[in-house]
Structures are given as C-alpha cells and as structure tokens.
Structure 1
Amino acid sequence: MNNVKTSFSIRDMENLSGIKAHTIRIWEKRYNLFSPERTDTNIRTYNLESLQKLLNVTLLYNNGYKISKIAKLGDAKIPALVNEIISEKSEKSHALNSLKLAMLNFDQSLFLKTYNELMEEKSFTQIFNEVFLPLLSELGLLWQTNTISPAHEHFISNLIKQKIYIHTEKLQFDAPTKNDKVYVLFLPENEIHELGLLYVNYQLALHGYKTIYLGQTMPVESLEDLLKYYHNIRFVSYFTVAPTKDDLDDYFVRFNELLNKSPQSELYVMGHQIQELDDEISHGQIKLFKSINQLIDSL
C-alpha cells in the first residue's frame, strides 16, 4: 500500500493503546516485547507489526494476564490467545483495536470484516453505542496529538456513515407508524459534521417516525418552506463547530422567529457547542439535549 503510516513514535503507541509510554519502555526493556528502531537522534520508532502486537498485549493484560506470562508466549501464540479469550467482555476492545488498524492502513476490508463479525452478535444500535461512539471519541485526541491525519478521520467516519445509510434505508421501505409529528433534520450554516445527525435520523426511523433529512449547512430562512407542508415539526440539529458560542444567542433568536409562525413546532439541538449552556434555555419551543441517547430516551 502507498501512503500508509508504518512508523509510530512511542507517544503514538501510547495514544493508540492507552498504555503509558513509561510502561511500554519497561515492557520493552524488561521483557523484550518490542524491538524499536532508533532515529539518528536516538528516538524510538515502532513499525506497524509492533503496534499490532502492543494492541494484542494490551487486550491480554486488561483481561488479567501478567505481562511476564505474555512475554513468554512468543509472537505466534499471542494472537492465538487473543482469539481464544475474545468474549463479550473483551469483544469491544478487540473490535476497537481492529478498527484503529483499519483506519491507520486505510483498510476497508478489515473494517468490513470487523463490522460483519460484530453484526453476528449485536444490533446496529449496540455496535454504534458500544464500538463506534468510543472510537469516534478517541479520534479527536488522536488527531490533536498528530497520531492520525484528517484523512484517517475522514476515511473511518465515511465508512461508518455508509453503515448508517444502509440501515436507515432498510427502515424507510416501510411507511412510518407514527404520524403525529414529522422530524426535519438539518445542520446550520457552515456546519458539515453530520455523522451524529445521520445516526439520529436512523434512530427516529427505527422508532417509526417520519423524517426529512436535509443535511449540511441549511440557512434558517430556507427551513420556512417546510411550514407550508407540515404544522407539527420537530426540527433537529447538531452543533459541532457552528454556530460558534458567541453566535448562539443570535441563532436562537432567529430560529424563534421561525417557530413563532408554527406554535406546535419545536427545535431540538445537540452537539459540542451547546454542552456548556444552562438547561434553562430548554423551554418553550427550543430544547437542548446533551447527548443523542438523551434525545432518543425522550421520544
């Protein structure tokens, strides 16, 4: 493969495995678990095989195996033991490790293999909450520490989006069973991070509601057209980077002007930008939800 990241610093290894760099150095020196190369300035670098081994060692270590015993197994027996002990308890960790490797290698086949194995045991909702969400929460840290590039993040995010699209489409073949309200999902202007909103759309369809998905960067004024067709709308949005915190008050004022034309309608908002807002804004026709599951539980 071209353009695959094959060299990792000890800080990368720490970020990807959750094992402190100091501990990795001890394992390396005391148990000869890894054989890093050295740069001209004597800085450790690790290859992809070392990362794979560290992730497997970490899974065993977190499942009660002593590091001294793991070190005696040898490179061939460690993956075999990992496969033996994968259970409901460790399956999440194993899946997360596989998805990280798929991301680092831009390896779609490994992503699909891991995903299909999960689907044999879990529902899509369980996979999203137990595996995809923890992975996505790690991406921010990995990106901030330069362990991964934006290309890695886009690659894995778009594969997850594909799965949401597939499962949503399956639900949309059947007519909605709940028609008392319609959910209109959109992102505000200059907002393009839609993975969370796509998953909300899936959950609403799963619960039998009619949804209209409008997607990215929708001006408030353009939403007024929906009021010509529906009188009881739940507008749903996800603020990741926009509007900025300085612009939130103005945005809510503008949206209230829209909602005043439809007294039965409401705006539901989630996302990073509203996490620090007081819940007191959640009154009248605008409601804040601190998580996707909080919104889903309110249905």
Structure 2
Amino acid sequence: MINNIKTTFTIKDLENLSGVKAHTIRIWEKRYDLFCPIRTETNIRVYDLKSLQKLLNVVFLQDYGYKISRIASCTEEEIPEFVRKIVSDKNADNHAINMFKLAMMNFDHSLFINTYNWLAQEKTFRQIFQDVFIPLLEEIGALWQTDTITPAHEHFVSHIIRQKVLLNIHEASVNQPTQLDKVFVLFLPLNEIHDLGLLYLNYEIVNSGYQVIYLGESMPIDNLKDLKNHFSTIVFVSYFTVQPENGEVMEYIAQMAVELLDETNEIWLLGRKVKDVETNLLPERVTVFNALTDLFHKL
C-alpha cells in the first residue's frame, strides 16, 4: 500500500540501515549537533530521508579514517562533496551499497541506475552482482524482517536488479552455445517464487557457453520428466530459498533423484534450505553447493 511507504524513521530504523548503534547516533546528535530530528508529541525522535543520507555519508567518511569531530565541523554541502572525492575501488562497494539503500528509501530509480552505471565503468556484471547486489539483498532481507522497510522497498530494488540480470542474459545469449556436452535445466520447487538467484545462475551458465532451459518458479517435479526425452545429458539446477518446508528437504531431493536421474543426468542444488543438508546422505549424482562461486568452478 502506498500509504505504508516510509518517509520518516525512528532512531532504531537508522541503526538498522546504517549499522551505527542508536546510542552512538544520540551522542553524535547531542555532542556535535549532526542531526536535527523532529520530536513527536510524546518526545520520540523521528528522522527524515535527509538525515538518513547524511548518516550514511558520515559512516562512509568514518570508515575511510575521518574522525567524527572533523566530519561534524563540515557544512551540509561539504560532507557529500568529501564522499565524492575519496571514493575509490577499495571502498566503492560499500559506498554503492549505501547509495542503493538511499535510492531504495527514496524510490529513486535514477539514483539506482546512476550508481549502477558508475560501478559498471570499472566492474563486470559478475563483480557487481557478487560484490554489491548479493550483500545489498542480504541487508534488505534483514531490514524487512525488522520492519525498517516495507515490501514496496524490497520489490522496488528486486525489480531493478532483475531487469539488469535479464539484460545481461540477453546479451550473453546472442552467441550460440559452444559447450554441447550437456544442457542445464533451471527451475524452482513448487511454491518457491524467489527467482533472483536462479536468474543469475542462468546468466552465468549461458555466459559459460551452455544451453539453458529456464523454467522458473513453482515447477512440479513430475513436469520435468519429459525433458529427458529431448536431451541426452541434463543438469537439473534448483534454488531452495523458502521451499521445500523444513523437514521435507531430503524427501524432496530423494523424489527428484527418482524422477530425474539416470546414468548421465545430474542434480545441482543451492540456497538457504540446503545449507544444512548432510552431503553423505545425498543420492548419487546430486551435488549441493554452499555458494554461487562453488558452482561456477564446475562449469
């Protein structure tokens, strides 16, 4: 709902968004007059988007080595100017994450795209996704769980990232596959809709020269069996984020093995739900990867 979109924040929200403890923010406010919160009728501090932007810049300058007393002596205009001058490859990722978070809180599409384009001048798409987007999405997940952001914020960012992944998949798909020994079939389990990780795998696998059959979210295992009639060697790849349910993961994997495996096919699995799987109990030709980068080494 548009009425639920946040434009003001509690001090706890600022703590969650910046990583700076609320106690420290209060000290900076009292000792250095860094922020000017609005007070509610019950005397609770409420901060606006400008305060959030300033706090993120202050954190960046602190990480770079500036003392808080030095930062506090700067004017409102000087602080972002200092940030722009000292951004380098070494700390570009953290700065970009802060800018993406600020774009999210403002629903500022231009700021998000400009930050992405700035990163793309020096980084490959793989580097941007792994070094910046993955940490950003992990932070967003934590922010959503603490009610610091609304689902609208999360959807805003996820949609833009999805667009970037799809664009890079399209560019990588221009060339015909060069690796013809196997075909990759990508799908999500029944009732699983979190597809960003799987989409990025699509990009990596296509970029490695393989053919990808992307089937997307909520695919029943039984519907995948027909693919075995079309391709001699298939690697079935799935990403378990919230499905299958706890306690049903091994049973689901066993069903996949019965329905999909033969002498040549394989199953590769990633995601939160498979991190605690006991690998010694997995069926043959089923591999669990703890991280995306582990899978890339198999391509």
The TM-score normalised by the length of structure 1 is 0.97
What is the 5 A alignment of 1:149-168?
149-168=150-169
Q: Which letter does structure 2 place at the counterpart of 1:287?
A: T
What is the 5 A alignment of 1:180-259?
180-259=181-260
Q: Which letter does structure 2 place at the counterpart of 1:185?
A: L
Aligned to 1:286: 286
Determine if contact 1:4/1:105 at 8 Å carries over to the other structure.
Answer: no
State the distance in 2 between where 1:76 and 1:281 align: 60
Give runs of ≥4 in structure 1 deviating > 3 Å: 1-4
TM-aligned CA distance change 1:184 to 1:63, over 3 Å: same
Moved more, 243-252 or 186-195: 243-252
Aligned to 1:38: 39
Determine if contact 1:281/1:287 at 8 Å carries over to the other structure.
Answer: no
What is the 5 A alignment of 1:51-130?
51-130=52-131
SS in structure 2 of the partner of residue 218 of structure 1: coil
Structure 1: runs of 5 or more not aligned? none
Q: Deviations over 1:47-101 (max 9, x none)?
A: 1101000011110011000000000011111111110001112211211111001
Aligned to 2:266: 266
Determine if contact 2:29/2:36 at 8 Å carries over to the other structure.
Answer: yes
The CA deviation at 1:285 is 1.9
Determine if contact 1:99/1:114 at 8 Å carries over to the other structure.
Answer: yes
SS in structure 2 of the partner of residue 188 of structure 1: coil
The CA deviation at 1:259 is 2.9
The CA deviation at 1:288 is 0.7
Moved more, 236-245 or 251-260: 251-260
State the distance in 1 between where 2:282 and 2:209 align: 25
Q: Deviations over 1:30-55 (max 9, x none)?
A: 10000111111111110110100001
Give the total of aligned pairs: 298
Determine if contact 1:185/1:237 at 8 Å carries over to the other structure.
Answer: yes
The CA deviation at 1:5 is 2.2
Determine if contact 1:191/1:217 at 8 Å carries over to the other structure.
Answer: yes
The CA deviation at 1:219 is 0.4
The TM-score normalised by the length of structure 2 is 0.97
Determine if contact 1:259/1:285 at 8 Å carries over to the other structure.
Answer: no
State the distance in 2 between where 1:256 and 1:58 align: 49
Q: Deviations over 1:107-145 (max 9, x none)?
A: 211111111111111100010011101101101110011
State the distance in 2 between where 1:241 and 1:253 align: 18
Identity %: 51
Determine if contact 2:4/2:150 at 8 Å carries over to the other structure.
Answer: no
**Aligned residues: CA RMSD:** 1.4
Q: Deviations over 1:2-35 (max 9, x none)?
A: 8752201101101111111111111111100001
